[in-house]
Amino acid sequence: MNSSIILSIVTFIYGLAAVLYITAWVFKKEKPGKLATYVAIAGAVGNIAGIGLRWVESYQLGIGRAPLSNMYESLVFFAFTIIVIYLIIEYRYKYRIIGAFATPFAFLAMAYASLSPNISDRIQPLIPALKSNWLIAHVITCFLGYAGFAIACGFSLMYLLKQTDTENRSQLLAHFPKTKILDELTHQMVMFGFLFLSVGIITGAVWANSAWGSYWSWDPKETWSLITWFIYAILLHARLMRGWHGRQIAYISIVGFMAVIFTYFGVNLLPGLHSYG
């Protein structure tokens, strides 16, 4: 069994976990929620096993590189980081209902990687610009940041839903964490994501200088990474210095994640140094 088959199976495992979390939320049942946790853990184990096997396969093909260099591999790693961060949050805060808003992101990333006809799962040699020791540090930090922002977006959606139910009449929202908790969790995940995105941008700049002789070239992906960084910097500034919280922060968090998605996918349609993504 090769890595692509394992990762395709992981796609369906994440889909099952998402369905179970949503079922536990909608029907207010404890057993589907517990099962969802075990399924998500199994998916994470399969995910990292698939990444590791893909790394081994690259050496068997004489390529020998970390499996982090193209759209397929980055989506697989993105899904893994989302699930791992979510499981840590579930273990820490004991709110399984959050899984209904976090695991779908991982499933969609894996589904797009596995099922999109525009994405190849072939293991290919690195282009010259990617042959650098900075590859692993840059990609891992960026995607830890992206995963943090994805989960923050999930918290923000939960906050907005909960906040609209001012009289607490909705049975679907009754088991949501309190809005104060959701607001604080959004803030924590944004700080987590901002830290790693900042490190990712710095390592990327150092990498760019070694590859192209310039720390910053205003390439579309570089530009949109900076735009995304500023959106979250504004969010943190508004919260810490202006006292913004709640709905205002939730909206900026969602806008920020939309910028993340465009930085990740949209700029690949534009010509530039990162068009290989």
Nearest C-alpha neighbor of 50 from the set 119, 3, 116: 3
For the cut 70, the answer to whether the pLDDT of residue 277 exceeds it is: no
Cβ-count burial 76-97 (b if 16+ within 10 Å, e if not): bbbbbbbbbbbbebbeeeebbb
* Domain's final residue, options 87, 102, 125: 125
Tokens of 119: 């994405």
What is the number of structural domains in the chain?
2
DSSP conformation class of 127: P
pLDDT exceeds cutoff 60 at 274: no
* 43 SS3 class: helix
- CA 73, CA 122: separation in Å to the nearest integer? 10
Same domain, yes or no: 160 and 266: yes
Chain centre distance of CA 103: 10
The CATH number given to whatever domain includes residue 34 is: 1.20.120
Both 112 and 170 in one domain: the answer is no
Q: Give me the pLDDT at residue 50, please.
A: 96
Rounded distance between C-alpha atoms, residue 95 and residue 97, angstroms: 5
| CB contact set of 123 (below 8 Å; sequence gap of 6+) | 54, 57, 58, 61, 63, 67
The reply to whether 145 and 255 lie within a common domain is: yes
- Of 125, 158, 193, the residue at which a domain comes to its end is 125
Q: Do residue 57 and residue 109 come from a single domain?
A: yes
> What gap in Å lies between CA 139 and CA 12, rounded to an integer?
25
> Tens digits of per-residue pLDDT, 151-160?
999 999 999 9
CA distance 78 to 85: 11
Which domain does 190 fall in, by range? 127-277
Tell me, yes or no, whether 5 and 82 share the same domain.
yes
If asked whether residues 104 and 137 sit together in one domain, one would say no
Residues 67 and 51 in one domain: yes
* Same domain, residue pair 133 and 90: no
104 and 145 within one domain: no
Are residues 177 and 87 both part of a single domain? no
Question: Among 108, 125, 142, which residue terminates a domain?
Answer: 125
In angstroms, how far is CA 74 from the centroid of its own chain? 10
What pLDDT, on the 0 to 100 scale, is given for residue 266?
A: 73
pLDDT digits (tens, 9 = 90+) for 34-93: 999 999 999 999 999 999 999 999 999 888 888 988 899 999 999 999 999 999 999 999
In this prediction, residues 102-115 reach a mean pLDDT of: 95
